[in-house]
Amino acid sequence: MERQSLNAFGRSIGRVWAARRGLWRFAVRNAATAVGAGKLDLVGRTVVITGGSSGIGFSTARACLSKGASVAIVARDEGALERARIELSRFGTVIAVPCDVTDGGEVNAMVAAVEETLGPVEVLVNNAGRSIRRSTVNSLGRLHDYRRTMDVNYFGAVTCTLAVLPGMLERGGGRIVNVSSIATQARGARFGAYVASKCAMDGFGDVLAGEVAGRGVTVTSVKMPLTRTPMIAPTDAYRAIATISPERAAKLVLRGIEYGRPEVSTIGGRAAAASIALNAGSAVFWRQVDYLMMPESKAALGDQSRSSMKELPVSAVGSGEREVEGLVGIERD
């Protein structure tokens, strides 16, 4: 038994030794990017951005084009996607590929189309997302809300990642950037479905990062603060809260692309995460205060009055479906 244990240990050490060059390259790159060096040059690189027809995705596409990248924007609404492509074409090489990120067949076809037109996918930005604001106690009997949110935010990101990962590993490099949320750090009230889906995406990314670190592929989570996009339009309470512009949000995503750090966050997000880690009980208390101060929308409470039936424009939703105020907002795509 002791001999078998020693042999197993020896084989483990052998695998680490065989990967020593990749581990060394990762260590050097990690040290360099930690001090703001080692920025990736995007000139001539192929970038795929899901949810790219508006908001954060659109602004990120423009930022990447300004750096010399060739960009593929992906979304479900072909009309909105084509309008975005026409506008973005003024800044560089961009193509539009209609795709539902929850459909594996469509995603594989999208990646094949991008690589045939622009070349191998070197950067993937998982930005398409769905958000719903409704407390758990008012979500009884609405399991579909959780499934739909998880389908886009988690499974959509996983599906796209699995489609581009083989090529990245074969070429020995690539960047995967997951647009997460400050909500995963603050755990704000009434966003249980949304926070759970983004935490799942973050967990997947963290594990993957550790598995491919020595093979030249980086995985980044961008803890995006509240941004002025169609996602927050249904929530009246957010009109009085400080938000950032899609252009500012795009700078955070671009930082993730260029430096490949495990996380891009804000001071507020890090403070929220630290407060929970240091004193979870107090964090629960203040989340209860937040829950009481920010009331449920009339629509989420089931009031179908005219004032609660304000609809988002179809182009804002990005899929041709209409969403009722206070029930769900489409974050990206």
Q: Catalytic residue numbers?
A: 194
Amino acid at residue number 185: Q
Pick from 150, 321, 328, 151: nearest CA to 232: 328
Say if residues 70 and 92 touch (Cβ distance below 8 Å): yes
Residue 109's contacts (CB-CB under 8 Å, 6 or more residues apart) are 99
Q: How far is CA 329 from the centre of its chain?
A: 16
